[in-house]
Amino acid sequence: MKKFYLMLVLLVGLAVLAACSSGDEEASGGSSAEGAGSADTITAWAWDPAFNIAALEKAKEAYNGDGDFEVKIIENAQDDIIQKLNTGLSSGTTKGMPNIVLIEDYRAQSFLQAYPDAFHPLTDVINPEDFADYKIATTSHNGEQYGLPFDSGVAGLYVRTDYLEQAGYTAEDLTNITWDEYIEIGKKVKEATGKNMLTLDPNDLGQIRMMIQTNGSWYVKEDGSTPNLAGNETLAKAFETYKKMMDADIGKIVSDWSQFVGAFNSGDVASVPTGNWITPSIKQEAEQSGKWAVVPMPRLDMEGAVNASNLGGSSWYILNVDGKEEAADFMLNTFGSNADLYQTLVKDIGALGTYSAAAEGEAYAVEDEFFGGQQIITDFSKWTDEIPGVNYGLHTYAIEDILVTGMQDYLKGTELTKVLENVQGQAEAQLK
C-alpha cells in the first residue's frame, strides 16, 4: 500500500511538472505545428504564392549568413494572417505565432501601436537609411524600427501611346502634369479616339489615396489615429478632382478587379494610373506590345505636391518569440542587405523592392520592349525615392469605408464641406 501511494504521488508530481512546462512554453512563444519553432527552425507567414511566397523561396536560396537553421514558409491568405495575429496577440499568447510575418503597410501601425512588445525591434539589425524614405514612417514606432521594408507600391501612369498620338499627344506631354491637365488631355483623347481615359470605381478609393499622397497627406493626423477629413484641403482637392473626371465623362465605370483589368486588356481605356504591380497584367495582352509607356503619376494642383505616389506595398516583421535572433539574421542577410537577391526578384517574379542599393543592378536597367524599350524598373525606382512619406496610421480601411459613402453623397450633389464634416463625425464616433 505504501508503494502504491508513493507511486501515485510521483505520477501526480510528473503531471504537474509537465503542465508547468507546457505553460512556460506558451508564455515564452514556444513552437507549434505552424508557429515559431526552435532556433534550428524559423517560420514565415505570407500570402500570394506567385509573389511574396516566391520572394521568400528566393531569399532562402540567396541566404549567405552563418546561421544553421531551416526556414519554413507557410502560405496564408492576407485576411487570415490579420485575423490570426489579432486573435493570438490580443489573447496575450504567442503560441502558434510565426517568427517572420508579412504585413501590408496600410495595416502595420495598427499592430505596432496595439502590440509593441510583440515585435522584435530591427533598429540595430538593419540600416533604415538603406531603404526608401517613405517606407520608414509606416514601419517604425516610438523611435524604433520594427519593419524591414519590402516591395514598393510606387505608382505610375501607364499610357497607350498609339491613342495619345491619334489625339496629337506624346508620352512626354503627360509627364509631370497635374490631374487638371490630365483631365483636359483626357477629353481630347476621347474626342479623337472614342476611348475613355481611365477606369473609375467609386466604391474603391485607391485613386484618392494616390492623389492625396502626392501632397504628403493622409486620412489621419500625424498621431496616426485622429481622423483628418473635415478641413483637410488635400482630401477636398482630391474629391473635387475625382468629381471633375466623372463630370468630364472620361472614365469607364468598373466595379471589380476583372472589369478593371479587362478594360485595359481590351483596349477600352487610354491610361491606367496605379501601382507598379499592375505591369504583369498590362503585359498579358501581347498584341499591345510597343503601344505602352509609363510616366510619373499626375499630381494635385497644390503647392508642394509632387509627381510621385504609392498604392499598396508591404514589409517584413519579426515577432518577439524564440528564434527571433535567427529570424533577424535571415532577414539581414537576404532582404536587408543582399542587392543580388533584389535583381533576382525583379527578373523572376517582377517584385520591385525598396532597398536603394538594388537600383544600381543590371536587372533594373533592362529595356522592356513591351513599353517601347523603356527602362521602366529604373524609372519606378527613381520615383520610389520621390514618394512623400506619410503615417498611414491605424484606420486606413475603416475610414475609407466611411469615405466611400461620402463620395457617393458628393457625386449626387451634397456640398463638399458638408460631406467631409459628416464623414469626420462618423469616423470620430466609430473609431473611439
Listed as ranges, residues in the chain with pLDDT below 50 are 1-35
Q: Please give the single-letter amino acid code of residue 367.
A: E
Task: Delimit the domains of the chain by residue range.
Answer: 41-152+312-358, 154-305+390-431
Identify the DSSP state of 391. Answer: -
- Cβ-count burial 250-289 (b if 16+ within 10 Å, e if not): bbbebeeeeebbebbbebebbbbbbbbbbbeebbebeebe
**Beta carbons of 258 and 201 less than 8 angstroms apart:** no
The Cα–Cα gap between 246 and 187 comes to 11
Which residues, in sequence order, are CB contacts of 347 under 8 Å at separation 6+? Answer: 363, 366
**Torsion angle defined by CA atoms of residues 401, 405, 410 and 412, in that order, rounded to the nearest 10 degrees:** 150
**Beta carbons of 276 and 154 less than 8 angstroms apart:** yes
**Torsion angle defined by CA atoms of residues 129, 134, 140 and 141, in that order, rounded to the nearest 10 degrees:** 130
Three-class secondary structure of residue 301 per DSSP: coil
Please give the pLDDT value at position 95. Answer: 85
The Cα–Cα gap between 222 and 109 comes to 12
Please give the pLDDT value at position 38. Answer: 55
How many other C-beta atoms can be found within 10 angstroms of the C-beta atom of residue 23?
11
Report pLDDT digits (tens) over 275-331.
999 999 999 999 999 999 999 999 999 999 999 999 999 999 999 999 999 999 999
Nearest to 149, CA basis, from 286, 287, 342? 342
The Cα–Cα gap between 98 and 291 comes to 45
Task: Return the ∠ at Cα 312 (arms to 331 and 218), rounded to 5°.
Answer: 115
Q: Quick one: cell of 71?
A: 526556414
How many other C-beta atoms can be found within 10 angstroms of the C-beta atom of residue 184?
14
pTM of the predicted protein model: 0.89
Q: Counting Cβ atoms within 10 Å, is residue 18 exposed (0-12), middle (13-18) or buried (19+)? A: exposed
251: β partners:
198
